[in-house]
A and B are shown apart, each in its own frame.
Chain A
């Protein structure tokens, strides 16, 4: 069994780089960009942890994973132990290890980051989870079901199968309740399947997590829009549910409301990514859903978040001649994960920061031909604490384009609030909850994830799902 080397030796180990596909190869395929640490790399990397008395990294984690302890277990070569330790706080480590903005969370708080490079906590989380998923695949019986308690006889409806809904379902089935997940689309996983592309989050991983839940007894019903196919009231009155969790996500794409957004060739990132990820348009005509031909095209993506990076990198993979990010602030303000920005650059994506579109130009068929932009400069900080972008007068210019993808965030989906006005929402349409219990203004109905916070992160959605599950459990006990 391995042990931690002396502190001095530990400080000398360099952060291990992530093995990756070559940028010039990967910008033409949809396979995963990062290959994951080998067992040796993981062991070496985990040994870098200083095992601080007060592990500040944990403060940086939205769900307070016991990071020092799971790293210690990696060093002790007890990977099942490490997995159990992570799972105490994080239900979806294989996913979060890949998509969390670690550089703004745990790794930012790691004491090593002050002197150099933090421990690669996210990559280690992913390593532990991947090994565990592989082993689970070779031993069919699921780990979740063995921990399941005896049935409570209570039934909970989970609306939406994104990370919030899945995490909530996992804890509720573990507590012995009957759980049914209703999903509007034909496929389960929410943004994890329709938004985040295969090359960043292989869909097989999401499938495995969902299969695990199904084996543990969670019932999944696709093609079911709650509020339309089945009303929320009917869930309680006719279908006999005792409580409901709403994890419906932030599914309404924002547009800038500038001239020309109605032109052909202007997509929301949600539409572009859904066509590619969910409908597999990149395999047209084997798959029936078409998408505008990116081959040889000039593509501009408006925005600087993860969604923008995903869209621009997809366009590159689909053969675009030029794929560019157009962002109104500077790179320092970009909300995207650092790794994705770096990957995008390596893959040949152009960055036009401090630039904002004014209008789109089109031909007589209203097909996009270009856009007019203006240069920006940064003024004093705004409400979000980031420096406010201000247009520079007289700096307008036009550029020729074939496709524009608007990735400036999502509003809240109005479907359920249209049909159920008794559920209180704020002025942005987000559901208002008690932050301790995630309870909404309607008794027995809880909510969490992007529908409450607005577009946020997988880990926050997952954490909210689990907080709600605990509260639902308490609520059902009083019933």
Chain B
């Protein structure tokens, strides 16, 4: 059992957790992830580690409630426990002084980009962050990003905050202004990562994306997490999760992530019905 030390909502359905896992906290590096299982019936899902505190022995994850597992997780409070947590898994982000590095986070992807952005700054880069979301309420870690970034931008799809439009608008503007960009990291929804890679491709700017395929074990044992990179099959849990954005087959990733869409909705629906029943009982 792994205890939750802190749990707080960052926006309507995005929640931050600090989980007590001293071994993971001690070793974890930017870019790595954990796999957790909530309870005996639970599935194993990967979540990127947003931060860690080796002294307190905690790791931080930031979770968007989308499916049954993430929604159930987001109902947990501090003091509750998670049955299984394993990590840190995957390769750490490659870190060096590139020059100017742009870190782009879409939605909850900002949380995942955050530790790498900090590490890039510590490696001596000029760091530009672009933080995008559907609307103002969904922008997370704005202050944190601002604090260490040399330049930071906010975009919202509906224009309720910052630039009205997509993260790629800002990126394109920087490119058009002939700024010398040496490295781009993009983490977020797959269409966003693909758009970023397409924007940087003509200019040959090194672009890294962090992929989120379906996983089970996270140790290279099942091959469920395989992604096509440069036409070659790679296991994201041991070869990734970060890959060269110009070489990733995003269409295949989207299609593979949809394999269980129907079943997942069924599971979620059942879960929500149970919650309603429970709520009804409480009221009675």
Contact = CB atoms under 8 A, between A and B. Distances in A.
A contacts with B: majority SS: loop
A373 interface: no
B77 to A, nearest CB: 21
Contact of B264 (A262, A280, A290, A418): A290
A275 interface: yes
A223 interface: yes
Interface stretch (B189-197, B204-212, B216-224): B216-224
A253 B223 contact: yes
B267 A290 contact: yes
Contacts of B267: 284-285, 288, 290
A366 B222 contact: no
19 contacts: A185-B219, A186-B83, A224-B23, A224-B86, A228-B89, A229-B86, A251-B219, A262-B228, A268-B223, A279-B44, A280-B41, A284-B267, A285-B266, A285-B270, A289-B44, A292-B259, A365-B258, A366-B251, A413-B221
A136 interface: no
Interface in B3-62: 23-24, 27, 37, 41-44
Contacts of A138: none
Nearest to B224: A271
Contact of B43 (A184, A267, A289): A289
A271 B216 contact: yes
B216 A290 contact: no
Contacts of B270: 285
Given A186-B86, A275-B216, 8 more contacts: A185-B219, A224-B23, A228-B27, A253-B223, A274-B222, A284-B267, A413-B220, A414-B220
A223 B19 CA distance: 15
Contact of B256 (A224, A225, A264): A264
Interface residues of A, number: 47
A267 to B, nearest CB: 8
A347 interface: no
A334 B212 CA distance: 38
A270 B238 CA distance: 16
Nearest to B221: A251
Given A271-B216, A289-B44, A228 B221 contact: no
Interface of B: 23-24, 27, 37, 41-44, 68-69, 83-89, 216-217, 219-224, 226, 228, 233, 235, 238, 249, 251-252, 255-256, 258-260, 263-264, 266-267, 270
Contact of B238 (A194, A231, A414): A414
A265 B260 CA distance: 10
Contacts of B86: 184-186, 223-225, 229
Interface in A177-211: 184-186, 194
Given A251-B221, A366-B255, A279 B216 contact: yes
Nearest to A362: B255
Contacts of B219: 184-185, 225, 251, 413, 415
Interface of A: 184-186, 194, 222-225, 228-231, 251-253, 255, 257, 261-265, 267-268, 270-271, 274-275, 278-280, 284-290, 292-293, 365-367, 413-415, 418
A229 B21 CA distance: 10
A424 to B, nearest CB: 20
A212 B84 CA distance: 23
A253 B270 CA distance: 34
Nearest to B237: A415
B23 A284 contact: no
Given A225-B89, A228-B87, A229-B88, A415 B27 contact: no
A415 B238 contact: yes
Contact of A279 (B43, B259, B260): B43
Nearest to B256: A264
In order of increasing CB-CB distance, the 4 nearest A-B pairs are: A288-B43, A271-B222, A290-B263, A251-B221
A365 B68 CA distance: 24
B256 A186 contact: no
Contacts of B235: 252
Contacts of A280: 41
A150 to B, nearest CB: 31
A469 B151 CA distance: 59
Contacts of B24: 229
A222 B44 CA distance: 14
A147 B266 CA distance: 53
A289 B255 CA distance: 18
A292 B256 CA distance: 12
Q: Of A285, A292, A418, which is in contact with the most chain B CB atoms at under 10 Å from its CB?
A: A285
Contacts of B217: 184-185, 274
B220 A252 contact: yes
Contact of A288 (B41, B85, B228): B41
A257 to B, nearest CB: 7
Contacts of B252: 262, 366
B88 A367 contact: no
A281 B259 CA distance: 14
B27 A229 contact: yes
Given A186-B84, A264-B255, A366-B255, A251 B23 contact: no
Contacts of A194: 221
B21 to A, nearest CB: 9
Contacts of A365: 255, 258
A264 B84 contact: no
A274 B215 CA distance: 11
Contacts of B23: 224, 229-230
Contact of B84 (A222, A228, A252, A287): A222
A285 B255 CA distance: 22
B223 A231 contact: no
Nearest to B23: A229
Nearest to B40: A287
A60 B120 CA distance: 60
A271 B223 contact: yes
A274 B214 CA distance: 14
A284 B89 contact: no
A264 B258 contact: yes
B111 to A, nearest CB: 21
A35 to B, nearest CB: 29
A404 to B, nearest CB: 13
Contacts of A287: 41-43
A322 B238 CA distance: 35
A292 B68 CA distance: 18
A287 to B, nearest CB: 5
A410 to B, nearest CB: 8
A185 B89 CA distance: 12
Contact of B221 (A229, A270, A288): A270
A267 B222 CA distance: 9
Contacts of B238: 414-415, 418
B223 A288 contact: no
Contacts of A290: 43, 260, 263-264, 267
A366 B27 CA distance: 38
A274 B224 CA distance: 10
